Every structure is written in structure tokens, then in C-alpha cells.
Amino acid sequence: MFKQIWNSCHASVCHLNFLNERGVSVDCLTGFKVNKSLVTSQQAFYVEKAHKVEITFVGKDANTVTASMRIPYTEFINEHRIGFVNSNGHYAIFNIDLPEFEDIPSLKLSERMNFAIGSQVAVIAFINGYSNLGLSTGIVSSMYTNPEGVRFVQFDCQTGYGNSGAPLIDPENMEVIGIVSRRSTPAAKAYRQLLDIVGTNIDQLRQVGSVIKFGDVDPIQVLVANQNQLKHLANNIYKNSVTSSSQAVTLDRVISFFNENAVHKVPTEESEHEMDYFIG
């Protein structure tokens, strides 16, 4: 069964690698093709220091590139986005009706609303920023709705950095039933809070300036360096950690978007407003 999942679905899943001006990766997500669109995590809208995004699909061996292209990040966000909800939506949709991706097959979205606890699921994703695609399997462990009314499927597959935006697949019919949303976990929230605290500390230290020195030692610069080391450590811990209690946002709003917006075009300013109102 799991071989069938891989054979049927792997070709539709892509790696989104966000690069800074020096070509260094600053973030990674997974996405998947639906019709002529790319579905992924809402995090795609908020990648700091991103200069370009590289979209890559791979073959059956999990490594051989079948289609790839780089797009300036501003172009990706401003010209290719066709579906956006507020920060509570947990998904993003982009137009990839491009010659490079014409032969990439599409996954099918499930219109099911409920999922039995204990039923099997699979995730196809790129993990830890690596360029090889992988398959994980598990079961639905629970369902819940967050305070904003967004529904989630909890499942016991291990997920890590780079998994956000991956399809959660029903092995019975190969349909997508959710979008992996690891960055909404308590651990991810704690990581972001720590980065905010470190950033605030560095700003305050720089405002103080070098008022006191001990010989040739500037204690303010020492403290700034200490905070940067803490930030670097937090980044490494986050990127290399995995969780066995994962979650995926259900497709309630995504299905509504595709049903109501059958024509996959980059919207005008007026149509963008209408879509935000409809989905948000």
C-alpha cells in the first residue's frame, strides 16, 4: 500500500528553498501541485531575507530533479499568489501555470470533513532542508479546532524542519486530507518567542552603546555576541529537532477556495480583496 502511495503521489510534491542575496538557504518548505496551482504553508508569505525561491520536483528515486526553476521572491509573492487568507489560514496558494511545470501531475483534494481516529495516513515531504523527498506513515491520533475556528488533524508521523506545507494523504484513495502545519506547534511558537526576545535584547544593548570598557574588552559587544550565539543555537535546535505528535490543517477553506475560484489567474487588486473577504 505504501509503495502505491509513493508511486502515485511523489511526483506532485516539491521542495521550496528560499535563498538570500548570497544564495544561502534561509528557509525551506514543502508544497504540492493541485491543478495548475502550488499549495503550501502560509509561512511562504513571511520568509525574512528571502531574495529568491527555488521550486524543485524530483523523480521516483527521491533525488533526480524532474522540474525546477528559481523565481525572485517578490515576484513569487506579488505576481504568483492567487490564494491568501489572514495569518490564521495556515495555507498559501500560488499560480504555477508555467511551461517548466506543465508535465507535473496534480494531487486530488479530499472533500471529506471527518476522519476516524486510528485510520492510516501518510506524509510525503522534504525534511531538515535536504533535497531528497521522503515518505512517512502513521495514524490519525485526534482532531481539534483552534480558537480561530481552524480545524486540524493530529497524527503520529514524525515531522521536522522543512515539512510544513506537505500533503497529508489518505492511503485508501491517494487524496490529500490536510496540509502539514508543524510551525503551529507549541515548540515552534516557543522558538519564535525566543527569537523575539533575543532580537529585543540585541536592540536594547545596541542602544546603550559602549559606555564602559574593561581594558580592551567592550562588555556590550560581548553581550551582543552572546545573544547572537543563543540565536544561532536556537536555530540549530529547531532545524534538527523532530516531533512525533504532528498536525495538519484540514482542507475546509482550501476546498472552498478551489471551488469558488476555478480560474487560476493572478488576481487584480479588486479580485484579491474579494478573495480575502471570502476566505478570511
Whole-number pLDDT of residue 213 = 65
Whole-number pLDDT of residue 86 = 53
**71-106 as b/e, with b when 16 or more CB fall inside 10 Å?**
bebeebbeebbbbbbeeebbbbbbbbbeeebeebee
pLDDT in tens, 116-173: 999 999 999 998 778 899 999 999 999 988 888 889 999 987 777 888 999 999 999 9
pLDDT in tens, 13-31: 999 999 999 999 999 999 9
Instruction: Please return the burial class of 111, using the count of CB atoms within 10 Å of its CB with bins 0-12, 13-18 and 19+.
Output: exposed
Residue type, 152: F
pLDDT in tens, 82-106: 876 554 668 899 999 999 999 999 9
Please answer whether residues 253 and 93 qualify as being in contact, where contact means their C-beta atoms are separated by less than 8 angstroms. no
Q: Which residue has the higher pLDDT, 188 or 202?
A: 202
| Residue 224's pLDDT band (cuts 50, 70, 90) | confident
What does pTM read for this prediction?
0.76
DSSP 157: S
Please answer whether residues 19 and 39 qualify as being in contact, where contact means their C-beta atoms are separated by less than 8 angstroms. no
Please answer whether residues 153 and 122 qualify as being in contact, where contact means their C-beta atoms are separated by less than 8 angstroms. no
Arithmetic mean of pLDDT over the chain: 82
**Which of 13-27, 178-192, 256-270 is predicted least confidently?**
256-270
| Residue 184's pLDDT band (cuts 50, 70, 90) | low
Distance CA 219, CA 212 (A): 7
